[in-house]
Structure 1
């Protein structure tokens, strides 16, 4: 896990940017994969200018800056251009350049910033062990130089470093690691939050697609079943009973007009996300219309109970369940009579739709998307659907939907 990298979708080795711009910039993650020229150039100026000031302040204590010192400083700074693409090589390279710089007796100063930035980028990129190892090696080199090799290294006449200075160096190293680890942890949190937001958006999109699919199925299945039955009646009676055929054609016109209106409403919600619907969603107050449409299809429906006032979501689900159940009776049952019973008790709404059968095909009660859609609607509200053949013949659909307190009366 320490060495794990989070890759993006733009090709191998591409780091996925997470976190605020300043964190991505100093970790080397420039937008579009560009080289981090600006941050590296700024750091190089700070290191070169700061090292010259440090050389004046430590004049007589450390060796003065010469061409080799400036080369080492430029190498340490230049390596940071690759801190995104090769964080391990960069952190060891900057540590090595800094170790040579210290071993040559040059003044302490901003050169340590190059190691700090390289370690920061490596830890943020997930290369924690490499960063720790490079810092440990640099500290070990400093201990050797400051307490043993100083006798043979410039400047001449140098004395061993005090242990107070070693505590400062150790504190500096710990501070670098701590800041880098905090940045890494925060970056991982940003990554998790971003992934969770993306998953939530996908779930919402999937749920919306399922909702639209259920709406279209329920609208079209019911209306087309009525139209199919009425078309058959019209064709059969066109010559023998023109008046009855005219009535069937009127029912077809009415059913198709209603279906077109509901389909248009669903499609409008796709074209203008977030816009309020032009018409209220159907509910159990339109149950008489369902009964009338079923009558046009030759199905007599008795309704027991009064439709209660429900929340919009529950009201729509109850209406669609009754609509789909009656559609299945028209399509799959030989019965011409059905019963709808509404019961409200203990914070629940019970819907029971019965027909006397017999089934006219293998899919008694509907074996396709209809029953699955009803179950999805009920499950979305925390309710249940039971559908199956009755012991005395026929078919029954029983839906139990919770009614929300304060919204159902």
Structure 2
């Protein structure tokens, strides 16, 4: 997970603090030293812009930290070293980040022990150590959050891919599965009756051709619902009584396909199995969701009856993939009503 603003923010604070120290007259800096300090910070910005995850870039950044700290008379720029475990954690993992964080703290303590005798009795130096330690803790914590977010994003992408594969499987089944099954059955029938009853075999071949034609129509319809076509325009291909309420928003492809496939499956079931002669589709585009209702005057069925096919179970699974739900109301002799609701 790229987090350029963290390093950039620290560089900016260090630059402002160093320049304030100079222009506020808190020291007696040399112009070349100030120039080198500013150039070092600029080099850090450039290095971060390149963003190469390798040990060499981390070493180069560490070297620039030493240069900037050496040129900064205010000594405030040593805060840059809290970025070492941060970058290492993101690049090489937790163990390396923690080890380098401990080394940075040890380096600070060593420098105080060597160049500042009795530093532990000076409140300012003790405060510096405590604040630097706190900075290390926060930097490592932020790196850990970034790594966890990166892993979560990868997992979400994987789940999205799995959901897309499941959706495509349902689309293939709903649009081609039953036609291909019919073709297979008719061809077997034609083969079986070829010598015994040529008329039956000929009719079976004709039925197979008709199923192939229907399958091609399904493919063309599926292609027509790709991005760029609205749900309403896709539903007009079903040849049903269509009623629309509200203005259609910019629905994503998965939602369009879910609603269209539900309408297609319900319409096919109504005409083929329910023997309905009147099928209507009503779509309501609300502020919170989109609702599609398919109603027919067919013979209906018992909704509690077990269903082992990919009809209603497949519709419900596809709706669940986009956060939606399906309800089915039907009874023998009373027609069927299928309602699909998908959140905006």
Same fold, judged at TM 0.5 (above): yes
Residue 273 of structure 1: aligned partner? 225
Gapped regions of structure 1 (runs ≥ 5): 1-17, 28-38, 152-158, 236-244, 288-306, 311-343, 351-374, 382-403
Q: Give the helix-richer structure, 1 or 2.
A: 2
Matches within 5 A, 1:3-402: 23=2, 25=4, 47-48=14-15, 50-57=17-24, 59-60=26-27, 66-67=32-33, 70=37, 73=41, 76-77=44-45, 79-80=47-48, 83-86=51-54, 88-99=55-66, 102=69, 106-110=73-77, 112-113=79-80, 115-117=81-83, 119-150=85-116, 161-224=124-187, 235=198, 255=207, 258-273=210-225, 275-276=234-235, 278=238, 280-282=267-269, 283-285=272-274, 309-310=300-301, 347-348=304-305, 377=310
- Confirm or deny: 8 A CA contact 1:123 1:131 kept in the other structure: yes
Match 1:406 to one of 322, 329, 338: 329
Query: Partners in 1 of 2:150 and 2:106 — Cα distance?
Result: 30
Deviation at 1:201, TM superposition (A): 0.9
Per the alignment, residue 13 of structure 1 pairs with none
- Shift of residue 214 of structure 1? 2.2
* Deviation for aligned residue 1:64: 5.9
In the superposition, the TM-score normalised over structure 2's length comes to 0.55
TM superposition shift of 1:76? 4.9
Whole-Å separation in 1 of the counterparts to 2:197 and 2:331: 43
Query: Does the Cα contact within 8 Å between 1:80 and 1:90 map onto a contact in 2?
Result: no
TM-score (norm 1): 0.48
- Flag the structure with larger Rg: 1
